[in-house]
């Protein structure tokens, strides 16, 4: 192992890792975190967490669908993840007659489990540091290709890839095993799995039963026999209890400069404003019609999650002075490297390179974001893209969840939004009807677009394709295709400004991260999240968001009833759940005080992608599922806030109560192993 391993050995003896902050690399747990894990309360060794030569905890954790985490909880491939992670799959399987998303559903037998098209789960086999070999290779692309080919040959049935860490200063070869047969086993209704909706999203106190269950099948169509599955603990949690999370955090920005962060916030404001326009139209239509609610549930949720997070991030940046703190850190960093000539020669241009690159791409980056978040979000335009990319047969799936009336309203609103915000030089040209985007009547153009296009319904498209040279005519003459082409042409004019500074930016970014590692080499270090498996460890803790307010570390089912609002679709409580609550019929899932705990808080360091990750106790037993961060620390992807940052988790007691008592799926409980 290269430099990082050398300094890690010496420095971990000086400063133990903080038990709250950090998304730690698994191969370095022994060197960086071995002592700190034990001091924090972990009763497992690093080898019991990550071991490529034998079974370990990491073998029970999967990358779910590429964007979430899940964990295996039986020796027959049963897995659990968040409800919002399974949301798209459940929605895709649902119909008005069998609305699994809104009504909830549990397979009573294996034969009833529903295969989810396109859904995969990925197990991690190993991570190997290949930095030395990568750095020495003259042709780095050829090295990566050969390393991947050799790894896949040595590990039949597996996939391999090489990815970077610390802003391309270190490189790892990662070997995985992907399973493509994943079947839906069950989930509570959305009124439980998404209780509180966007109002409660990122907020505490929380009362959401955010879980769903699937099963992994092997290549022979049999339930997978995993190398490891998690046991479940039903012990009540107490404040200060040790917790750890293994999962796949997506992206953080803790190695970015103040200039980059400022640009990020400005770009996100464009996204917020554009999505506000589109989401309002979707929300009104969803509230008015249950069929529309089903069709647009996933589209709305996917859009709204980032929309609310970016608003919280913007607010936190101001309240916590994130930009100012980063600027002060960079000033101190500059003082450090300027103190010695060799350091100044290595790192002295890093901040300047990044600043120049950020400035050079700024206008184009914002213009591209405006394009992608406004006119390129029109569904008819997306259909034109699907048709070009996938062909008619696959593109027909588009219509399952499409409502022309909603898209018409969105098209008018988004085109107006774009015209108001965009520079005139970025207006689309040659829309196909002879109109000038700067002066045209947008409502009239949208009427023409939807009345003339063959892409507004499956029936119209099939009829157009049945004509001689039908596909060619649609792809060349349809007004939706012409709008798509005009918008893409504007985007392509902007990309060179971004690509032109890429080399300068990457040079500065790499030097900046390398300099920070050398400057702060007395501290344990972890790289930015990049959708590779990481460990975070901490404790069950409450927090105080403001003066005179203290949030308890857990919530109960009582709070669900207190929040109930039958007039608000986000706070509807199913009648069966109310009856179970009234009878206090919680079975063995009740806490010592007789109440049913729903969610709890830890100070584990997570981000998007950790959704569905197992929250485990000191022995590696499952005690809950991570599903959210808290509103007061929305800047956590940039800076960890020890006093404020919390991970919101659904309690395993609530999960199993909903499976067993509410869902009547006690046969699944019998599959699970419980810690004594």
Give kind and range of the element (H or E) at residue 495.
helix 479-499
Distance CA 453, CA 461 (A): 9
Distance CA 86, CA 89 (A): 5
Distance CA 450, CA 455 (A): 8
Burial of 541-558, coded b for 16+ CB within 10 Å and e otherwise, reads bebeeeeeeebebbbbbe
Distance CA 86, CA 91 (A): 8
Decide: 157 and 139 in contact? Cβ < 8 Å. Answer: no
Residue 106 per-residue DSSP state = E
Distance CA 107, CA 76 (A): 15
- Token pair for residue 186? 């069950």
Distance CA 500, CA 321 (A): 32
Decide: 322 and 261 in contact? Cβ < 8 Å. Answer: yes
- Token pair for residue 676? 């004594």
CA 111 from chain center: how many Å?
31
Closest C-alpha among 375, 370, 406, 365 to residue 485? 375
Three-class SS of 515-555: HHHHHCCCCCCCCCCCCCCEEEEEEECCEEEECCEEECCEE
- Token pair for residue 522? 């007395």
Decide: 10 and 33 in contact? Cβ < 8 Å. Answer: no
Q: Which residue has the tokens 């907020």?
A: 203
Q: What are phi and psi of 631, to 5 degrees?
A: -55, -40
Residue/partner pairs of 149-157 with CB below 8 Å, 24 or more apart: 151/175, 155/125, 157/219
In the sheet that 242-247 helps form, which strands lie side by side, from edge to edge?
A: 24-25, 534-539, 242-247, 614-616, 622-629, 647-651, 597-602, 554-556
Distance CA 211, CA 658 (A): 10
Work out the angle at residue 15's Cα, subtended by the Cα atoms of residues 32 and 528, and round it to the nearest 5 degrees.
50
Burial of 369-400, coded b for 16+ CB within 10 Å and e otherwise, reads bbbebbbbbbbbbbbbbbbeeeeeeebbebbe
- Token pair for residue 226? 């995993």
Q: Catalytic positions, please? A: 84, 210, 611
Count of residues making up the chain = 676
Distance CA 408, CA 410 (A): 5
Decide: 618 and 41 in contact? Cβ < 8 Å. Answer: yes
H-assigned helices in 155-288:
190-193, 197-200, 258-288
Distance CA 654, CA 660 (A): 10
Peptide bond into 205 cis (omega under 30): yes
């Amino acid at each position: 192992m290269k430099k990082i391993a050398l300094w890690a050995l010496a420095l971990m003896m000086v400063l133990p890792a903080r038990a709250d902050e950090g998304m730690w690399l698994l191969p370095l747990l022994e060197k960086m975190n071995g002592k700190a894990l034990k001091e924090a309360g972990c009763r497992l060794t690093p080898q019991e967490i990550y071991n490529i030569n034998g079974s370990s905890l990491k073998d029970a954790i999967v990358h779910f669908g590429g964007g979430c985490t899940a964990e295996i909880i039986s020796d027959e491939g049963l897995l659990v993840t968040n409800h919002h992670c399974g949301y798209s799959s459940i929605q895709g399987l649902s119909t008005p007659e069998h609305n699994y998303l809104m009504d909830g559903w549990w397979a009573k037998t294996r034969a009833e489990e529903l295969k989810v098209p396109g859904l995969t789960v990925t197990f991690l086999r190993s991570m190997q540091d290949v930095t030395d070999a990568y750095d020495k290779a003259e042709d780095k692309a050829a090295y990566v290709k050969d390393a991947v080919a050799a790894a896949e040959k040595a590990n039949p049935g597996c996939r391999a890839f090489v990815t970077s860490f610390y802003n391309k200063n270190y490189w790892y070869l990662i070997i995985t095993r992907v399973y493509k047969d994943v079947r839906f086993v069950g989930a509570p209704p959305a009124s439980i799995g998404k209780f509180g909706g966007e109002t409660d999203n990122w907020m505490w106190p929380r009362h959401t039963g955010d879980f769903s269950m699937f099963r992994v099948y092997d290549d022979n169509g049999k339930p997978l026999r995993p190398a490891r599955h998690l046991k479940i603990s039903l012990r009540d949690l107490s404040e200060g209890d040790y917790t750890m999370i293994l999962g796949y955090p997506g992206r953080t920005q803790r190695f970015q400069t103040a200039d980059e962060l400022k640009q990020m916030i400005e770009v996100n404001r464009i996204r917020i404003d554009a999505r506000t326009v589109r989401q309002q139209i979707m929300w009104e239509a969803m509230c008015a019609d249950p069929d529309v609610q089903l069709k647009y549930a996933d589209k709305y949720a996917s859009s709204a999650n980032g929309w609310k997070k970016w608003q919280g991030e913007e607010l936190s940046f101001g309240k916590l002075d994130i930009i100012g703190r980063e600027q002060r850190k960079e000033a101190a960093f500059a003082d450090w490297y300027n103190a010695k000539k060799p350091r100044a020669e290595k790192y002295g241009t890093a901040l300047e390179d990044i600043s120049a690159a950020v400035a050079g791409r700024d206008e184009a980056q914002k213009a591209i974001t405006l394009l992608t978040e406004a006119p390129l979000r029109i569904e008819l335009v997306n259909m034109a893209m699907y048709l070009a990319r996938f062909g008619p047969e696959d593109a027909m799936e588009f219509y399952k969840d499409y409502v022309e009336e909603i898209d018409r309203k969105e098209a008018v609103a988004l085109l107006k939004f774009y015209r108001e915000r965009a520079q005139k030089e970025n207006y689309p040209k040659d829309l196909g009807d002879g109109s000038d985007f700067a002066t045209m009547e947008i409502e009239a153009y949208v009427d023409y677009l939807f009345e003339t296009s063959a892409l507004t319904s499956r029936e119209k498209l099939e009829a157009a394709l049945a004509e001689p040279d039908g596909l060619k005519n649609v792809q060349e003459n349809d007004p939706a295709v012409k709008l798509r082409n005009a918008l893409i042409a504007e985007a392509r004019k902007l990309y060179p400004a971004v690509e032109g500074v890429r080399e300068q930016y990457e040079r500065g970014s790499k030097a900046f991260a390398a300099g920070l590692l050398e400057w702060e080499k007395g501290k344990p270090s972890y790289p930015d999240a990049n959708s590779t498996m990481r460990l975070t460890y901490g404790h069950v803790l409450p927090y105080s968001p403001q003066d005179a307010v203290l949030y308890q570390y857990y919530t109960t089912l009582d709070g669900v009833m207190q929040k109930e609002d039958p007039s608000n679709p986000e706070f509807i409580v199913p009648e069966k759940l109310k009856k179970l609550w009234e009878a206090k019929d919680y079975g063995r899932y009740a806490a010592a005080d007789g109440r049913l705990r729903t969610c709890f808080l830890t100070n584990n360091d997570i981000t998007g992608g950790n959704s569905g990750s197992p929250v485990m106790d000191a022995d590696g037993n499952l005690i809950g599922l991570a599903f959210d961060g808290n509103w007061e620390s929305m800047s956590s992807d940039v800076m960890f806030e020890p006093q404020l940052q919390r991970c919101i988790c659904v309690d395993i007691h609530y999960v199993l109560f909903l499976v067993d008592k509410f869902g009547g799926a006690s046969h699944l409980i019998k599959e699970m192993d419980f810690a004594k």
